[in-house]
Structure 1
Amino acid sequence: MKEHIRFVAARVFLWLKTLTGYVPPETVFKHLHFVGPFTIRFPSSREVTLYSWGDRVENELAWRGWDGHEPLERRCWAAMVESGGDILDIGANTATFALSAKCLAPASRVFAFEPVARIAEKAAQSIAASGLDVTVVQVAVGREGGELPIHDPGGENAYSASLDPGFLNVPKTSYKVPVTSLDEFCRQHHVYPKSIKLDVEGYEGEVIRGATEVLARGECVILCEWLGSPTSHMEARSILRRSGYIGLDVFDLSEIDLSGGQEHENRNIVLIHREKVVVFRKAMMSQAERHGRAALTAS
């Protein structure tokens, strides 16, 4: 009965939102999870249809809009992908970033990497609902190709499944998944990424270690979690430094020290070639102004 009431209430409020623009307060909409398709509109007036399974990410996007979950990161992602080129969403979960990218850059090739089978199926379902051409790649990304155990806390969604066995101190099920490196995938499929979202739950250092060729080109901008220990990132930092890359704070685009681990609430950063920083900051400022957001205080 509760689920039925919640479903009806969600549909009523979504109808009101479409008709009048009214959005209930978070104290209300956090209880209005629903299953089914919904549409988000970007400030450019482009629209994309996603599919919700009643999980937090899609629910916040449905009620708050295109940047309703992780707003700074999604605004940054929008500025990144609008320049086009090949786009990779590594650790895609249900592909909300990948689908946003394809909507904003329709001529781009977009690849969504998701190694957990039940989540990759959800990503494929959302892609089907969108009608957009996004390729789901059901493999993990690491330092080299092969197979590795992934450590999965289970549940209908899997926001914290990781190749790092120590990432979360919770009960997990481990099973092997295929793994590729970024360089290997790009060589095999003739991909030249311009924008990458990297969300691999503490394993990003290993992904960087397998991306020396991609980084050597200096062309891609990476929106990246930086949650691993300083030790695990030591070689990754060396590779980034040799390739001319630095880290920027996603909030104000100031340069950050990559030698320290980020606090969880500040876990997302931008990795970018030093020579592209000025142009990227201008793009972010322009994006903020076009979308009616407060301008970033870039330094």
Structure 2
Amino acid sequence: MARNSADRLLRQFLLKAIGPIRRLGIPIPAKISKHLQFRGVVDVSVGSGASFKMQSHGHAIENRMYWYGKRGHEPETFLPWLEASKTAEVVLDIGANTGLYSLGAAATNRTSRVLAFEPVPRVAELTRHNARLNPSSNIEVFELAVSDENGTAILHDPGGDQPASASLRGDFLDCKQTEIKVRCVRIDDFLSEVNLSRVDLIKLDVEGIEELALRGMRTTLQTHMPTLFIEVLDARPELMAELNGLLNMGYQVGDLCSDGVIPYDLSDKKGVERNLLFAKDLSRFQ
């Protein structure tokens, strides 16, 4: 216990000592900042005078946002997301976790309506808290899983304060998991429930059931062709069939990588563990 107290005091001292350097915009090496877990409210600028607040509990994503701002977490994906958000009036953040992408979208376009879907109850509450920190944003949090059927399903929760890998697939993780009964919705049906007649932008991060979520929103995609940010973890045939179906609808696909948004060939079986952008016109992001 004495060691833990000493470590905590040392971190607090270093945070105070390095804080002025951070405020000057001087980058702190990641190998240092990852050990300096900031706890408190983080103010993240997204440009043009806009910003959002989020609560940091010292976890990795929040901590990176504290130290590095909008480039702190997945900048190859988050920055194009902010660009897409500028003209998006209705945004769906599916698999919101604590709401980073929802917060970014709402801050970038104050007139937008942002719907955040997070099925893990304790994480959904963190998302609600972050939304409350930004009272002028139009973020609505729904404690729902998104799939190809309406009803209930079993969510496999690996535990932890902020699990990023809870999935409807029991085989998604090879670890001890808790089963939680959650409500599932098809996006096509849900949009009718909440009287939404358009969708402009969707982020899909659902830990191994992307093809199910896409099946449940086919009509929405065909009708509105929203810009899509999709986490692709593997090249399962069922998933690749759905992604190729997007190309048949007229979408272009790009790889969100450190070099920017690069046109991507879905037949490349290296398409695993990457974020892909599907848009009517990729040139906006290049």
Query: TM-score with structure 2 length normalisation?
Result: 0.90
Percent of aligned pairs with the same residue? 30
Q: CA deviation at 1:36?
A: 1.2
Q: 1:28 to 1:255 in 2, by over 3 A?
A: closer
Q: Which residue is equivalent to 1:92?
A: 96
How far the C-alpha of 1:161 sits from its partner, in A, is 0.5
Partners in 2 of 1:42 and 1:209 — Cα distance?
Answer: 33
Q: Where does the alignment leave 5 or more consecutive residues of structure 2 unmatched? A: none
1:43 pairs with 2:47: yes
Residue 147 in structure 1 maps to residue 152 in structure 2: yes
- Partner residue of 1:295? none
Counterpart in the other structure of 1:240:
246
Mark the CA change 1:213 to 1:261 in structure 2 (over 3 Å): closer, same or farther: farther
Aligned to 2:133: 129
What CA deviation, in whole Å up to 9, does each residue of 1:236-277 have, x standing for no partner?
24642443334321233303216846332xx100123xxx22
CA contact (8 A) 2:235 2:272 kept: no
Aligned pairs, number: 276
Is contact 2:118-2:124 (8 Å) kept?
yes
- Give 1:166 deviation, angstroms: 1.6
Answering whether residue 275 of structure 2 is matched by residue 268 of structure 1, we say yes
Alignment partner of 1:116 out of 114, 120, 123? 120
Matches within 5 A, 1:105-254: 105-131=109-135, 132-191=137-196, 192-233=198-239, 235-237=241-243, 239-251=245-257, 252-254=261-263
2:112/2:138 contact within 8 Å kept? no
Task: Tell me which residue corresponds to 2:285.
Answer: 284
CA spacing shift, 1:258–1:161, aligned 2, 3 Å = farther
- Classify the secondary structure of the residue corresponding to 1:111: strand
Deviations for 1:92-115, whole angstroms, at most 9, x for unmatched residues? 000011000000011010011000
8 A Cα contact 2:147 2:209, kept in partner: yes
Question: Over the residues paired in the alignment, what is the CA RMSD in angstroms?
Answer: 1.9
The superposition leaves residues 11-45 of structure 1 with CA deviations (integer Å, 9 ceiling, x where unpaired) of 44334423x33342212111111221011112322
Q: Is the contact made by 2:147 and 2:216 (CA closer than 8 Å) also made in structure 1?
A: yes
| Regions of 4+ moved over 4 Å | none
